[in-house]
Structure 1
Amino acid sequence: MTDLDVSPAQRSARDVLAWGRALVDPALRAAVDRLPESMRSIAGYHFGWWDEHGVPTGADAGKAIRPVLVLLAARAVGGRAEDALPAAVAVELVHNFSLLHDDVMDGDATRRHRPTAWAVFGVNAAVLAGDALMTLALDVLAGSGHPAAARGIVLLSAAVQELLDGQSSDLGFEERDEVGVAECVRMAEGKTAALLGACCSLGALFGGGSADQVGELGLFGERTGLAFQFVDDLLGIWGDPAATGKPVHSDLRNRKKSLPVVAALASRSQAGRELAGLYRGRGELAGSALEEAAGLVEQAGARAWGQRRADELLAQARTHLRAAGVDPVAARELDAVAVLMTRRDR
């Protein structure tokens, strides 16, 4: 047992996520209501609030992990969650901006067990809706009246630039036969970890934390975010479609160079060489080729490597959380959310 282990009396990670979702949703809806109707209808569909005709639904709106990290980080440094609500809404808007664009770029027709926005409204409309959410995120921060708003905008904008750079690298990898493990990790640090680090930094900033606390909590978020990406890439190959909302082997189908795939290709093993042969083809992998590719990644040791790296990164995140010297109750809840993020369905 460590000082971050969750006691039976502590709220579970799922309870914390439900609390955060309940706090953020009204403010998020109020922000989206300010969009032009053309953008609002698409955004609301994407968030799961209504169908393509505007009829309310009970669709899955996601776990709200990023805004919850903001709220918990604010509490961790002695602030109130409500004080950080504009920052929480902003990061959820940015996250969903990236999802709308990712679905278009990856050609994913399904998210959260329903058709993606571009599949319903068209590519151009979905891209514009994503742009609208990004602009709205900065507007929410600017209009918050919080003394840290200006610094928060700079911090969030920097994270978005890293996210875009990571996404650019990810797309570039699709055109290359060889990708190094180190550069693939750097891509994940930008595409995923940067925004999760910003969530914790923003929360600490809006909660009135010291510069050291803002920095340490940001590193906690970044390490957790990178661990999350390792796990997400494992689920992209072996995840249960009922849990992920995407077809089994979805990343392999498009010959995506995810972390475990790149590790397998770089392994210099027989399995890695055979996988490279499969990946040199054109078009989608299908049928038995998908099963073969998944088996080769595992035979090359990349599945175990990815699981091990996720655990190592979670340990590093916990070190930064301890170094932040924050409220122990909020720290335990931050840790519980990090564990939920990095130990999903393995």
Structure 2
Amino acid sequence: MSERLLAVGEAPHTVGDMRGAVPQARGAVHDGRAAGAEADLGAGSQEAAALLDRTREAVEPELRRAVDSLPGTMRRVVAYHFGWEYADGRPASGQSGKAIRPGLVLAAARALGGSPTAAVKGAAAVELVHNFTLLHDDVIDRDSTRRHRPTAWTVFGDADAILAGDALQALALRVLADDQHPAAGRAAAWVASCVMELCEGQHVDTALEERSCDQVTLDECLGVAEAKTGALLGCACALGALYAGAGFDEVEAMDAFGREAGLAFQLIDDVIGIWGDPARTGKPVGADLLAGKKSLPVVAALTSGTAAGEELAELYPRLGPADVGKAADAIDRAGGRDWAQAQAADRMAKAVAQLSRAVPDPEAAGGLLALAEFVTRRSF
């Protein structure tokens, strides 16, 4: 196992120099409709997939040990949410997630000269926090499906899902408190600050949902995306740097890298939320539109000043199933889809610039670059 852990974050092939990585990401993101399927087969995606496989192998035992320590009711809800059990407690073989955030922790540790093995508890803590947010988000958004199965709140009820999420947040901090690594204390403080930012981002997001469409700006939505998605990816990269013994400037640069990559991730996730294939997303077609979410492509279209944007405003946010196709077409014609993909490419370019501050050697940064490109090259 130790040899496998040491390999996490090591790119079997370099992505190329950092300047070359930006146009590659830009082309794939900007034309995501055509590039997605090709990207799945590309060397970069295969590299990232292999890295994520190694991450799951390294981190899942730590996750299971932590979850097994929860009180019975909480453990049952969390084990179901992770895909390890069915609702009646029978063992299941579901995958607990893509492992992107713990993958970033381990890849960042290696990129800065540290040992991924030593950072496994930090990676597990980040994944526990991520799943705390998923449990709560599903309740708040009333999402009924996640990872191709009913969400925890639909099975166990709102209260149990919320409390299980609370338990995961506390569990993440306990995992770090029990870690003997000298960076664990700073890592716990960084995670706590991140959780506060996540909660504030969710508060603002909920407030925006209460406003009419003409009272929401793109800048506000981008701010929410940074707080809800970028902050945790930034935290993951920062924790990897902390466990590698990096200095303050390097840790800050890694946090900035993760935040920019996180914004790119959210932009593409919002596109997939409208045009994604349910067989891949595990959610019904146009789920975000039916939920009336003010996602980034939607707000870009609504604020575009175009005729298509006005058409969308007449439909949104009270859509029926028959209106989903019309709304998606209006967003596309208003430029919301192209704007989101171009913005994702721009954020990726900024992410690479931040990464080069902390890790000037492109070969050392290969695993991080592969992961960052992977999250913006997902197929629809």
For residues 156-184 of structure 1, give each alpha carbon's deviation from its aligned partner in whole angstroms, at most 9, with x where no partner exists: 11111111111111111111112000111
For residues 319-343 of structure 1, give each alpha carbon's deviation from its aligned partner in whole angstroms, at most 9, with x where no partner exists: 1111113564441111011111012
Amino acid at match of 2:191: L
Amino acid at match of 1:293: A
Match for residue 106 of structure 2 among 68, 71, 81: 71
Flag as ranges the 4+ runs of structure 1 deviating above 2 A. 4-11, 325-330
Amino acid at match of 1:314: M
- 1:37 corresponds to 2:72: yes
Q: Which runs of 5+ in 2 are unaligned?
A: 1-14, 22-41
- Paired residues of 1:77 and 1:327 also in contact (CA < 8 A): no
Amino acid at match of 1:153: A
Structure 1 residues 90 and 327, CA, compared in 2 at 3 Å: closer, same or farther?
farther
For residues 169-223 of structure 1, give each alpha carbon's deviation from its aligned partner in whole angstroms, at most 9, with x where no partner exists: 1111111112000111001010110010000001100111122211111111110
| Distance (whole Å) between structure 2 residues aligned to residue 304 and residue 219 of structure 1 | 25
Tell me the equivalent position of 1:312: 346
What is the total number of aligned residue pairs between the two structures? 343
| Distance (whole Å) between structure 2 residues aligned to residue 288 and residue 40 of structure 1 | 40
- 1:3 corresponds to 2:5: no
Q: CA deviation at 1:154?
A: 1.4
| Distance (whole Å) between structure 2 residues aligned to residue 308 and residue 217 of structure 1 | 23
Amino acid at match of 1:294: A
Tell me the equivalent position of 2:269: 232
Tell me the equivalent position of 2:91: 56
- 1:291 corresponds to 2:325: yes
| Distance (whole Å) between structure 1 residues aligned to residue 335 and residue 117 of structure 2 | 45
TM-score by length of 2: 0.87
Amino acid at match of 2:170: T
For residues 254-285 of structure 1, give each alpha carbon's deviation from its aligned partner in whole angstroms, at most 9, with x where no partner exists: 1110001111111111111121121254xxx2
Match for residue 334 of structure 1 among 359, 368, 380: 368
SS at match of 1:12: helix
Q: CA deviation at 1:10?
A: 11
Amino acid at match of 1:223: E
Amino acid at match of 1:298: D
SS at match of 2:365: helix
Structure 1 residues 301 and 44, CA, compared in 2 at 3 Å: closer, same or farther?
same
Identity %: 52
| Distance (whole Å) between structure 2 residues aligned to residue 334 and residue 185 of structure 1 | 23
Match for residue 262 of structure 1 among 299, 312, 327: 299
Per mean C-alpha deviation after superposition, the further-off stretch among 316-325 and 177-186 is: 316-325
- Paired residues of 1:45 and 1:51 also in contact (CA < 8 A): yes
Tell me the equivalent position of 1:14: 49
| Distance (whole Å) between structure 2 residues aligned to residue 146 and residue 287 of structure 1 | 52
Tell me the equivalent position of 2:169: 134
Tell me the equivalent position of 1:154: 189
Tell me the equivalent position of 1:144: 179
Q: CA deviation at 1:9?
A: 11
Tell me the equivalent position of 1:103: 138
Amino acid at match of 2:224: M
- 1:84 corresponds to 2:119: yes
Provide the aligned C-alpha RMSD in A. 1.8
Tell me the equivalent position of 2:29: none
